[in-house]
Chains A and B, each alone.
Chain A
């Protein structure tokens, strides 16, 4: 299995530009998570999907952030317009069997976003 796939691995953009991050979960996993990691705040949940349906988006910072999961094998996180404070590493993770306390989450390699 290829694991969770994220693209791009690195993104450098200018303030005001639209950024789209992509994630392919592990085949058969029905829950997908988007996390953001910064030095100051560590790992934070942005949004998660169960069976392609957004369950909790309370971690999404503001309306500039949006996420979609059109099918079981693909999700996007979009930032429009981007700002320098959005610079962080964005991780996607997936798990099977529902979102239960004991379920292991499998993380993608992350996308390092730099907004100038």
Chain B
């Protein structure tokens, strides 16, 4: 079983719809990252959160550390939101360092 599980794997939405992507993890962490991979392949960091909720424009990320679950929401979705969304949990790797363990990603397609 993967240490970081995402659902759904694929998601198609109509423009304007509210979207939710879920991430569950089994590793003990103090923070979780959400990344976006554009159709061209580039990866950018969207959020790092350790508790509660963060908002950036139409994107909202929430986390429940006790339940080991995080969600990424997109309000008023737009075709330009079409991308792969990846959650990543930092896992302690010794010597005071952490390495990211990634989910398989959720491929979002927003149709005009």
B-binding residues in A (CB < 8 A): 33, 42-45, 48, 50, 55-56, 89, 91, 93, 98-102, 104-107, 109-110, 112
Question: Does residue B45 face the partner (Cβ distance < 8 Å to A)?
Answer: yes
Given contacts A107-B42, A110-B41, contact A101 B31 (CB under 8 A): yes
Contacts of B98 in A (CB 8 A): 99-101
Contacts of B105 in A (CB 8 A): 42
How many of chain B's residues have a CB under 8 angstroms from any CB in A?
27
The one of A56, A98, A104 in contact with B93, judged by C-beta atoms closer than 8 angstroms, is A56
- Asked if A110 and B93 make an inter-chain contact with CB atoms under 8 angstroms apart, the answer reads no
Which of A43, A100, A106 gathers the greatest number of chain B CB atoms within 10 Å? A43
Complex CA distance for A105 and B48, rounded to whole angstroms? 10
Which of A56, A91, A101 gathers the greatest number of chain B CB atoms within 10 Å? A101
The one of B42, B97, B104 in contact with A42, judged by C-beta atoms closer than 8 angstroms, is B104
- Asked if B50 and A45 make an inter-chain contact with CB atoms under 8 angstroms apart, the answer reads no
A-binding residues in B (CB < 8 A): 29-31, 33, 41-45, 48, 50, 86, 88, 90, 93-105
CB B72 to nearest CB in A, in angstroms, measures 16
- Asked if A55 and B41 make an inter-chain contact with CB atoms under 8 angstroms apart, the answer reads no
Contacts of B94 in A (CB 8 A): 56
- Asked if B45 and A105 make an inter-chain contact with CB atoms under 8 angstroms apart, the answer reads yes
Given contacts A102-B31, A109-B41, contact A55 B86 (CB under 8 A): no
Given contacts A42-B102, A91-B43, contact A102 B50 (CB under 8 A): yes
21 inter-chain pairs at a CB distance below 8 angstroms, sorted by A residue, are A42-B86, A42-B102, A42-B103, A45-B100, A48-B97, A50-B97, A56-B93, A56-B97, A89-B41, A91-B43, A98-B96, A99-B96, A99-B98, A100-B90, A101-B50, A101-B90, A102-B31, A102-B90, A105-B33, A110-B42, A112-B41
- Asked if A104 and B99 make an inter-chain contact with CB atoms under 8 angstroms apart, the answer reads no
Contacts of A93 in B (CB 8 A): 43
* Chain B residue with the shortest CB-CB distance to A59: B99
Contacts of B41 in A (CB 8 A): 89, 109-110, 112
- Asked if A104 and B97 make an inter-chain contact with CB atoms under 8 angstroms apart, the answer reads no
